[in-house]
A and B are shown apart, each in its own frame.
Chain A
Amino acid sequence: MARRGTILACLLLGCGPLTATSVIDDAESALVRARAADADRFAPYEATLADLYLAKAREEQGHAHYADARALANEALRYAGAAARKTAENRAAPAASSAAVPKR
């Protein structure tokens, strides 16, 4: 019954807001996870891009440009994933070479 209601709502109103919101939420979660792993330090380029694309996706959603919002949120999601991957790689690399003695 709920599924029929959702389909009916989609037919009447369009599913743009729903899907855009869903992707934005996913991108936001991915970025939060990447930042929790210190992506701002280990992958600043990707993290900054993800942040800017996410903000822009929200802005476009506010202007009811749902397709653009979804596309931007997808980009944000992609960059957040890249930031998380790069962070994991860069964090693992120093641990592997424990014999190194930082002089800073």
Chain B
Amino acid sequence: MRNLAPWVCGLAAACASGSALRQRADAIGQDVKSAKDLNAAACAPREIATAEANLRFAQLALDQGDSPRAGAHLDTAAPAARDALARSRDCGNTRVAAQTPAEPQRALASAPSVSAKDADGDGVPDVEDLCPDVPGPAEHRGCPVFTDRDGDGVADDVDRCPDLPGPKENFGCPWPDRDGDRIADKDDRCPDEPGPRENQGCPRRAALIVIRRDRIELKQQIHFQPNRARILSDSFDVLRQVAEAIKDAPVAVRIEGHTDNVGKRKENIKLSQARADAVKEYLVQEGVESKQLKSVGFGPKRPIASNATKAGRTLNRRVEFRIEEKSN
């Protein structure tokens, strides 16, 4: 009998402890219920969730006969429940004060979220209000509705140019465009000279060529390796400009190769043809349609200066671009 005494005492103590814990759980449960009635799920969601869950876990631990774990869960649940209750009370008080004063009873009756905080008093609780400090209708999530006359997505009250569409980054005003080439100055490399977008807003420069009615005049002659048809790199710029000019206008162009009269006539004709062909090939590589181009080698047959002098012979060694007719 004496051996059973400690067991009986232990069981009695455990029962007493379990009973006390259940009473404590009931008290916390009351707090949780009160907080939930005050819309704690909106006012203090994490606190009420913590209290509710730990209360449930404590009851489970009590059912399992594990008083220490039940006590630990109640220790977590109790402050969370108090916190949730306090926050919900604050939340609820502010909400009620901000309700429409003319019909307080109706507002209380019709709005289940009457206890939610509503700083701007627009009837939309702060937790659901995208603009908690500015009144706005519920269908706009509590934000005011503004007009937008120019339809640029920037409301008129903040739009510095309410009648001109413009990006939000420029306060609703269009970006300035001094040269009127429809490329904003900020993106325009030449903001005072109109130019196409593909040239970053700068005008196309044709400094090395002049386009005449019947020919493309070169201000810089095309250079080749001596006695060969290989174009030297210092002539690439001028040829690129020729290519751009031909691409811009639908014309057929005859590329003429000419030489001086030094050497055999037959060799000169052959060299001039090869050079004209090389120029044609380069222009095609630059995007000119092959059908727009024709290459002819005249050799020394069409001099433009005297072959008796060195300067004259230099002028005679040349490539010319003749505009023949409208292409297509």
Contact = CB atoms under 8 A, between A and B. Distances in A.
A48 B131 CA distance: 25
B136 interface: yes
A49 B131 CA distance: 28
Contact of A48 (B50, B60, B136): B50
Given A94-B141, A100-B136, A44 B46 contact: yes
Interface in A65-103: 65, 68, 72, 93-94, 97, 99-103
Interface stretch (B51-59, B187-195, B197-205, B257-265): B51-59
A52 B53 contact: yes
Given A100-B140, A101-B155, A49 B130 contact: no
A103 B134 contact: yes
Interface residues of A, number: 21
Interface string B279-322: 00000000000000000000000000000000000000000000
Given A48-B50, A52-B50, A100 B45 contact: no
Contact of B146 (A53, A68, A101): A101
B130 A102 contact: yes
A97 B140 contact: yes
A65 B144 CA distance: 54
B54 A101 contact: no
B46 A100 contact: no
B51 to A, nearest CB: 10
Interface string B153-175: 00100100000000000000000
Given A44-B46, A45-B49, A103 B143 contact: yes
A4 interface: no
Contacts of B48: 45
A45 B41 contact: yes
A56 interface: yes
A70 B186 CA distance: 63
B69 to A, nearest CB: 9
B54 A52 contact: yes
B211 interface: no
Pick the most buried of A56, A60, A103: most chain B CB atoms within 10 A of its CB.
A103
B20 interface: no
25 contacts: A44-B45, A44-B46, A44-B49, A45-B42, A48-B46, A48-B49, A48-B50, A49-B53, A52-B49, A52-B50, A52-B54, A68-B60, A68-B64, A72-B60, A94-B141, A97-B139, A97-B140, A100-B136, A101-B131, A101-B146, A101-B158, A103-B131, A103-B134, A103-B143, A104-B132
Give the 6 A-B CB pairs with smallest separation, nearest first.
A100-B143, A48-B49, A45-B45, A100-B140, A52-B53, A44-B45
Interface of B: 41-42, 45-46, 48-50, 52-54, 57, 60, 64, 130-134, 136, 139-141, 143-146, 148, 155, 158
